[in-house]
């Protein structure tokens, strides 16, 4: 298999549209980590992503009659732009099926290359099914985003460039993983020529389809995937890509959304470029690997796979970067309701800057405080602050890793109420015109909404926190209703942040 892919990669036709991107040292990050960190800058491609390599290589090999019939692809972003640019370069008709939730900036970019855009469905799976149907109906050639040997070979040219540029020792290459086209191409080339180099995949912890497949030694379908790193939100690793990965990928690292935000900031600090969440996976995984293994003085490569991020998502990234770097802690603290109590609380915190302080009168004797505290030494300092608060007899809850507190509660502190039969849920739903109204209509037809928090994060999916009054005897029927909505949901009724700040029951 490796010899076959090696030949395909060496003869791949990508440079009519792709450029050989630099392998740059991230000097600030290298100093912090005690290793030489090298960034493969695929965010500098014409479409700001590596995806055009595989798309063009696939299309360059089409027969004349296939070119005449045109191509079709399903994608919400980077692959769509790669296919559209490649088709424009070759003079081929291209149809791109995109979910209706696709941000307008990406739809406009694809149309700008001359491709016809068809908006269909709320998810990639629905768009892909429609693209397949159109393919059969119209006779187009389907250009798969990852599960195709020619696409894999095109992506493998990235590894060829890395090894050509860096002939000295490399300890590991960290590769973002979605459907597996990129890591399959990189692993095939690296293991054929430099098998001592580790090839390490990096996935979001809420979309880790390769990690699940490696553990089970077979492809599995995840019941659902997180959408923050939308470029790699794939429920099942590709069939062909897994054939390569299961034998030639050394390890898979998973990272959180906060760790991705921190990695985006790290890349910006060194390059003044802003990558998308999926594009930061390599750096996030590299950092986690170094922290867990304690390695020093090695050369480590991370592939910056793309930079197609919506501007309005940067607010969310900036908010969460310090948490992902473990430079901010979030605490719920109960302090006495009397003059001087806040000053004493600050004295216990010491000289550490307070990044956020939300307060609400609870009763005549106490007040609840939602506090963000800036840290210099990560989790060790967080533990020291927690211990200091407890030593001074402050009731305290550490909410640094509480997703509901970070997404919603910090923006809602200001009032609590005793609401009969209230239960609390977090939801995700497709972010498109009218979606919020449909969500409210679906929930509110049967049960009363007693609490609601929504905040636009510039993503394809909206995140909502909802309190709903459901009598205990009706809870089973309510669960059945939730299962039928098609939304992602999670109950948060017992979350301590809710109990402390929003509920008097």
**How does the average pLDDT of the chain come out, rounded?**
88
- Residue 218 has a pLDDT of 97
d(CA 358, CA 371): 6
Arithmetic mean of pLDDT, 301-323: 87
How many beta carbons lie within 10 A of that of residue 397, not counting itself?
A: 18
* Contacts of residue 55, Cβ cutoff 8 Å, sequence gap at least 6: 73, 79, 82, 83, 85, 86, 143, 151, 154
* Catalytic-role residue among 8, 40, 51, 287: 51
- Tens of pLDDT along 170-199? 999 999 999 999 999 999 999 999 999 999
pLDDT band at 434 (very low <50, low <70, confident <90, very high): low
Arithmetic mean of pLDDT, 109-135: 90
* Catalytic-role residue among 86, 128, 257, 305: 305
d(CA 38, CA 44): 15
In this structure, the strands spanning 461-469 and 422-430 are antiparallel
- Tens of pLDDT along 250-277? 999 999 999 999 999 999 999 999 999 9
The residue behind tokens 């969460």 is 320
305 is catalytic: yes
Residue 283 reports pLDDT greater than 70: yes
Residue 125 reports pLDDT greater than 90: no
Return the CATH class of domain 53-142. Answer: alpha beta
Arithmetic mean of pLDDT, 453-473: 74
Lowest-confidence region among 173-182, 413-422, 464-473: 413-422
Q: Where in the chain is the domain with CATH 3.40.50.1100?
A: 2-50+149-322, 53-142
- Residue 481 has a pLDDT of 86
**Which fold is adopted by the domain 326-401?**
3.40.1020
> How far is the CA of 436 from the CAs of 298, 360, 391, in angstroms?
49, 29, 45
**Percentage of residues in the chain having pLDDT higher than 70:** 91
- Residue 201 has a pLDDT of 98
Q: Where in the chain is the domain with CATH 3.40.1020.10?
A: 326-401, 410-501
Residue 152 reports pLDDT greater than 60: yes
- Residue 214 has a pLDDT of 97
Lowest-confidence region among 32-36, 124-128, 156-160, 255-259: 124-128
Q: Minimal CA–CA distance to 392: which of 354, 359, 346, 353?
A: 346
d(CA 102, CA 308): 12
- Residue 251 has a pLDDT of 97
Lowest-confidence region among 142-146, 167-171, 472-476, 481-485: 481-485
- Tens of pLDDT along 376-413? 888 888 999 999 999 988 899 999 988 888 878 877 77
Arithmetic mean of pLDDT, 61-81: 93
pLDDT, greater one: 67 or 321: 67
**Percentage of residues in the chain having pLDDT higher than 90:** 56
d(CA 38, CA 26): 6
Alpha-helical segments (H) within 34-103? 51-60, 64-69, 78-90
- Residue 309 has a pLDDT of 86
Give the SS3 label for residue 474.
helix
CATH architecture of 2-50+149-322: 3-Layer(aba) Sandwich (3.40)
**Which fold is adopted by the domain 410-501?**
3.40.1020
51 is catalytic: yes
Q: Minimal CA–CA distance to 158: which of 38, 259, 59?
A: 38
Residue 292 reports pLDDT greater than 90: yes
- Residue 410 has a pLDDT of 78
pLDDT, greater one: 315 or 453: 315
* Contacts of residue 164, Cβ cutoff 8 Å, sequence gap at least 6: none
- Residue 312 has a pLDDT of 78
How far does Cα 82 stand from its chain's mean position?
A: 20
Using CB atoms within 10 Å of the CB of residue 16, give its burial: 0 to 12 exposed, 13 to 18 middle, 19+ buried. exposed
Residue 370 reports pLDDT greater than 70: yes
Residue 350 reports pLDDT greater than 90: no
Residue 36 reports pLDDT greater than 90: yes
pLDDT, greater one: 131 or 339: 131
């Amino acid at each position: 298999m490796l010899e076959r892919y090696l030949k395909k990669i060496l003869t791949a036709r990508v440079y009519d549209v792709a450029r050989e991107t630099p392998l740059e040292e991230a000097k600030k990050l290298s100093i912090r980590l005690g290793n030489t960190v090298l960034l493969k800058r695929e965010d500098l491609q014409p479409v700001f992503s590596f995806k055009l390599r595989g798309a063009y290589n696939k299309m360059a090999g089409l027969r004349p009659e296939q070119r005449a019939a045109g191509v079709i692809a399903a994608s919400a972003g980077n692959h769509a732009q790669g296919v559209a640019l490649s088709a424009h370069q070759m003079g081929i008709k291209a149809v791109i099926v995109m979910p209706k939730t696709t941000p307008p900036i990406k739809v406009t970019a694809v149309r700008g290359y001359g491709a016809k855009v068809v908006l269909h469905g709320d998810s990639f799976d629905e768009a892909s099914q429609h693209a397949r149907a159109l393919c059969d109906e119209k006779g187009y050639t389907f250009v798969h985003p990852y599960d195709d040997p020619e696409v894999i070979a095109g992506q493998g040219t990235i590894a060829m460039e890395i090894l050509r540029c860096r002939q000295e020792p490399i300890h590991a290459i960290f590769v973002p993983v979605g459907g597996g086209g990129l890591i399959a191409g990189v692993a095939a080339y690296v293991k054929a020529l430099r098998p001592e180099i580790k090839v390490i995949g990096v996935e979001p912890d809420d979309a880790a389809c390769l990690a699940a497949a490696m553990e089970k030694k077979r492809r599995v379908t995840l019941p659902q995937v997180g959408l923050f790193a939308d470029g790699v939100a794939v429920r099942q690793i590709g069939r062909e890509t897994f054939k390569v990965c299961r034998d030639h990928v050394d390890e898979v690292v998973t990272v959180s959304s906060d760790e991705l935000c921190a990695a985006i900031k790290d890349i910006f600090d060194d390059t003044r470029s802003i990558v998308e969440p999926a594009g930061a996976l390599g750096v996030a995984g590299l950092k986690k690997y170094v922290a867990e293994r304690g390695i020093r003085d090695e050369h480590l490569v991370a592939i910056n796979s793309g930079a197609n991020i919506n501007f309005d998502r940067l607010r969310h990234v900036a908010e969460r970067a310090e948490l992902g770097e473990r430079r901010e802690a979030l605490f719920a603290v109960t302090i006495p309701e009397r003059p001087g109590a806040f000053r004493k609380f600050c004295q216990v915190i010491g000289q550490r800057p307070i990044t956020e302080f939300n307060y609400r009168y609870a009763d005549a004797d106490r007040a609840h405080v939602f506090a963000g505290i800036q840290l210099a030494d990560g989790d060790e300092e967080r533990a020291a602050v927690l211990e200091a608060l407890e030593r001074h007899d402050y009731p305290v809850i550490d909410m640094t890793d509480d997703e509901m507190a970070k997404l919603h509660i910090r923006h809602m502190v200001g009032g609590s109420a005793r609401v009969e039969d209230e239960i609390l849920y977090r939801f995700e739903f497709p972010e498109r015109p009218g979606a919020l109204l449909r969500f409210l209509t679906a929930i509110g037809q049967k049960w009363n909404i007693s609490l609601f928090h929504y905040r636009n994060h510039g993503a394809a999916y909206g995140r909502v926190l909802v309190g709903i009054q459901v009598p205990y005897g009706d809870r089973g029927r309510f669960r059945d209703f939730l299962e039928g909505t098609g939304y992602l949901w999670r109950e948060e009724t017992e979350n301590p942040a809710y109990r402390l700040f929003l509920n008097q029951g």
